[in-house]
Amino acid sequence: MKAILDFLARSRDVLQAAIDDASFVRAVEDAADVVTDALRARGKLLIAGNGGSAADAQHIAGEFVSRLNYDRAPAAALALTVDTSVLTAIGNDYGYERVFERQVLGLGRPGDVFLAISTSGRSPSILRAMDAAREGGLKVIAFTGRSGGEMLMRADLSLRVPSDSTPLIQQVHITAAHIVCGLVEERLFPRAEGA
């Protein structure tokens, strides 16, 4: 029981730290603004991460393309973590550190947004993709942990979770992504009066 309660308390504490961090809250709102503007202009959201962050990329894309809070039109979002043929071809031919970079180069267009997820801020595959996105005219949003690592200098906007614990950072990333998606949903697809 103690281990369970300790982890739940740590989860609560990092969420409270995020609530109390004005720069974190502002970054969530700024991310919603950037994504809203891109989707309104017929752009798309590309998302990538490794390991648990790869699963988060897929989760986030699903919320945009399907729905989060209510029925509405789909929003253009794509997780770069899902096509095993593409991932293994790039990994085999160019090296794993280029699996997202090549996809950003092939799929990204000026005005799109690249959401880069790395709890450490040091994932080579994510850093290379961020560089490719910036060079290609995409806006780059970083979801990372307290230090931000090397992502900070590559991002237009950084959302830094006030923690150094990977599982807790990931929990707050998905919470922030839900908030961003909810705000975008309300702005682009307002609910009918009384719905």
- What fold, for 24-187? Rossmann fold (3.40.50)
pLDDT digits (tens, 9 = 90+) for 4-27: 999 999 999 999 999 999 999 999
pLDDT digits (tens, 9 = 90+) for 153-169: 999 999 999 999 999 99
pLDDT digits (tens, 9 = 90+) for 53-106: 999 999 999 999 999 999 999 999 999 999 999 999 999 999 999 999 999 999
Q: How far apart are CA 125 and CA 122, in angstroms?
A: 9
- In the chain, where are the structural domains located? 24-187
pLDDT of residue 47: 98
**pLDDT band for position 195 (cuts 50, 70, 90):** low
173 within 8 A of 161, measured Cβ to Cβ: yes
pLDDT of residue 192: 75
Q: How far apart are CA 138 and CA 132, in angstroms?
A: 9
Q: Which residue has the tokens 């267009």?
A: 109
Q: Which residues are annotated as a binding site for Zn(2+)?
A: 59, 63, 170, 178
Q: Which residues are annotated as a binding site for substrate?
A: 50-52, 63, 92-93, 118-120, 123, 170
pLDDT digits (tens, 9 = 90+) for 127-153: 999 999 999 999 999 999 999 999 999
Question: Residues 110-137: what's their mean pLDDT?
Answer: 98
HSE-CB at 33 with a 13 A cutoff on CA atoms is 8
pLDDT of residue 194: 61
Q: Which residues are annotated as a binding site?
A: 50-52, 59, 63, 92-93, 118-120, 123, 170, 178
100 within 8 A of 48, measured Cβ to Cβ: yes
